Amino acid sequence: MTSDTLQELAIAIRMSSCTGPGKPWTVRFNDSTVMKELSANGKRLNELATRYLPGKVLETGANINAKTLCEKLKESAALGSFPHVISVTGSGIYTCAPGANDALTIAKCLELENPFVQSAAATGRLSGCIAVITGSAQGFGKGIAEECAREGACITVADLNEKLGNECAGELNGTYGCGTAIFCRADVTSMQSIESLVEATVRAFGGLDMLISNAGVLKAGAIHEFDERSFDLVTNVNYKAYFLCTKAVTPVMKLQHVFNPAHFMDIIQVNSKSGLQGSNRNFAYAGSKFGSIGLTQSFAMELVEHNIKVNAICPGNYFEGPLWSDPENGLFVQYLRAGKVPGAKTIEDVKKSYTDKVPMKRGCFPSDVARAIIYIHEQQYETGQAIPVTGGQVMLN
């Protein structure tokens, strides 16, 4: 069975677990040697299910298709007996449960033959939501991942930095339970890399409900000193990558809509206040963010028929993050050295100058952005918007 077919089956299983707009279950696919052998041994599989598992087993043939499986599962759901184990002969086994930890534990039970102990399903505002967050190994992205996991979401930490990315996923699993997060190395400027990211997410969790396109770079400078390579880098990471990520996730989201037309999904770009207002000597960054709002509005028009909402969050400056506060090369240090703030003699002087520009007298926190993301997720009548989260520094006209 091809990887595309196995991915379609995972989506069909997950979308069939709820027949309305409720929270779908988490689905995991396992094709280890043990699981493949077990999928071909119905008697042994049912023995294990009887001893250890809370739900019945559904055995399918080797040539099952997603549409037929969806029909079978919806019949089971209507009878209140949705299976926790779906076996595809010769290919592997899907395990599913209301909580991400439960689905993972069931899979471990089948391999290790250990008693299954059900954990409490997440009950947060993002419970049941599967989110891919690009650029989430550190800074804003990591903070957003932490806030979303706290609210019950399953997280794919996507980043080029493998060390920090694995650490972030490990921290989330340690805090919120094994099975909450995975790390996937991803280059957002490569379509092949993003497609692999989507495939890994569906394999781990059974679908994809929210793309948070957060990865970005900032290079500032005057027109006469800014080179073409720097301009291309900023444009590719901040603008083109948003298109690539959206293109990669929409096939999964559209298929989810086919199997459950009541299910809503989100594509959210973490934009910037510089996408709402020009930025002096920062034209490449501001231009990429302005352009991304155009993409947001256009994507929203095209994808609304599939219950895919597309919005942008426009945060103010995250002064506590590494971009601004890195002691060696953060913007506060750079601006002090460059004399950008007249009269400033210390880093604190520079920071105060920028903080004073914000009516609320502080920078933007990841929790501020996460609250806006959760609002967008819960709001079913909002798409194509660019929502400022700037403490009043930039306001919509």
Q: Write out the catalytic residue numbers.
A: 285
DSSP code of residue 29:
E
Cα angle vertex 71, ends 70, 74, to 5°?
A: 85
Burial 208-232 (b: 16+ CB within 10 A, else e): bbbbbbbbbbbebeeeeebeeeebe
* C-alpha to C-alpha distance for 267 and 308, rounded to whole angstroms: 7
Q: Count other Cβ atoms within 10 Å, centred on residue 356.
A: 9
User: What angle, 0 to 180 degrees and rounded to 10, lies between the N-to-C axes of helices 139-150 and 366-378?
Assistant: 50
Cα separation values, 213 from 93, 136, 140, 313, 324, Å? 31, 10, 12, 10, 21
* C-alpha to C-alpha distance for 199 and 184, rounded to whole angstroms: 10
DSSP state string for 126-191? TTT-EEEEET-SSHHHHHHHHHHHHTT-EEEEEES-HHHHHHHHHHHHHHH-TTSEEEEE--TT-H
Any bridge partners for residue 92, and if so which? 88
Considering only the C-alpha atoms of the chain, give the largest distance between any 2 of them, rounded to a whole number of Å. Answer: 79
Cα angle vertex 129, ends 127, 130, to 5°?
A: 135
Q: Token pair 């979303």 is at which residue?
A: 148
Structure tokens at 391: 């403490």
* C-alpha to C-alpha distance for 175 and 284, rounded to whole angstroms: 38
61: left (phi over 0), alpha (psi -120 to 50) or beta: beta
At 59, the amino acid letter reads: E
At 334, the amino acid letter reads: Q
Chain-centroid distance of CA 81 in Å reads 30
